[in-house]
């Protein structure tokens, strides 16, 4: 797949649907996170159930987000004990990028948060106006992964100036 500019409902088919096919890892970076729902095997389910399925298959999941999710997310999260044990999760209040990286082979970067109105299956009348790039270009994926990994590893923690807002500092 070449690099493509995508908008609105294309985000769901080009970004969220491929997550379920991951074989090795999925990295998700988002400022806001909610309990978005997806179509899966003829049903509508929480995206967390897809992540739970991936973990059961041995796929590693990293979730990096800026703030604690709301009660709907927490309620769904509590239904999947496998997520508590196996999914790696970090908070960084300065994260504003939106990245999804699948197996180091496909990456999304753009404006959409991991929410129903951003990346979920909302109707065109209820979704945000979003835009982004999805790519299989190795150089571009490497750049996206580098930014994600630098934040994940705490490269900027000592100099960020927002440590007072970190409920769970990375380092």
The answer to whether the CB of 37 falls within 8 A of the CB of 74 is no
pTM over the 0.75 mark = yes
Which residues contact residue 154 at a Cβ distance below 8 angstroms, ignoring those fewer than 6 apart?
Answer: 169, 170, 171
| Burial (CB count <10 Å: 0-12, 13-18, 19+), residue 157 | middle
Q: How large is the C-alpha radius of gyration of the chain?
A: 15
Q: Where are the alpha helices (DSSP H) in the chain?
A: 10-11, 17-19, 47-56, 71-77, 81-86, 138-152
At 121 the pLDDT is 84
Q: How many domains does the chain have?
A: 1
Stretch 99-124: mean pLDDT: 94
pLDDT value at residue 164: 80
Lowest mean pLDDT among 64-73, 99-108, 129-138: 64-73
In a domain, residue 170? The reply is: no
Q: What CATH code is carried by the domain that includes residue 46?
A: 3.30.870.10
Residue 50 forms part of a structural domain: yes
Give pLDDT tens digits for 59-98. Answer: 999 999 998 898 999 999 999 999 989 999 999 999 999 9
Strand, coil or helix: what is 52?
A: helix
List the structure tokens of 91.
């908070």
Asked, for residue 74, whether it belongs to a domain, the answer is: yes
Structure confidence by residue, pLDDT tens digits, 116-126 = 999 988 888 88
pLDDT band at 100; cut points 50, 70, 90 = very high
Q: Check residue 135 and give its pLDDT.
A: 98
Residue 117 is assigned to a structural domain of this protein: yes
Residue 124 counted as domain residue: yes
Dist CA 52 CA 13 (whole Å): 20
Domain-located, residue 56: yes
The pLDDT assigned to 126 comes to: 85
Find the domain containing 122 and state its range.
Answer: 4-165
Task: Please report the pLDDT score of residue 59 as a whole number.
Answer: 98
132-146 b/e (C-beta count within 10 Å ≥ 16 → b):
bbbbeeeeebeebbe
- pLDDT tens for residues 1-54? 689 999 988 999 999 999 999 999 999 999 999 999 999 989 999 999 999 999
Contact 6, 14 (CB under 8 A): yes
Q: Is residue 120 within 8 Å of 12, Cβ to Cβ?
A: yes
Q: Is residue 171 part of a domain?
A: no
- pLDDT at 105 > cutoff 80: yes
Is 14 a member of any domain? yes
Nearest residue to 152 via CA among 61, 52, 29: 29
């Amino acid at each position: 797949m070449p690099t493509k500019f995508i908008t609105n409902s294309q985000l769901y088919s080009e970004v969220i649907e491929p997550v379920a096919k991951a074989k090795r890892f999925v990295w998700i970076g988002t400022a806001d996170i909610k309990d978005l729902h997806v179509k899966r095997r003829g049903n509508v389910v929480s995206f967390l159930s897809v992540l739970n399925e991936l973990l059961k298959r041995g796929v590693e999941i990293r979730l990096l987000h800026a703030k604690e999710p709301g009660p709907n997310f927490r309620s769904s999260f509590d239904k999947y004990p496998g997520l508590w044990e196996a999914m790696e999760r970090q908070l960084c209040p300065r994260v504003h990028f939106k990245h999804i990286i699948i197996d180091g082979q496909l990456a999304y970067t753009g404006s959409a948060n991991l929410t129903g109105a951003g990346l979920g299956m909302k109707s065109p009348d209820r979704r945000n106006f979003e835009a982004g790039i999805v790519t299989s270009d190795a150089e571009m994926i490497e750049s996206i992964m580098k930014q994600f990994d630098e934040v994940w590893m705490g490269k900027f923690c000592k100099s960020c100036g927002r440590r007072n807002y970190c409920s769970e500092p990375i380092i």
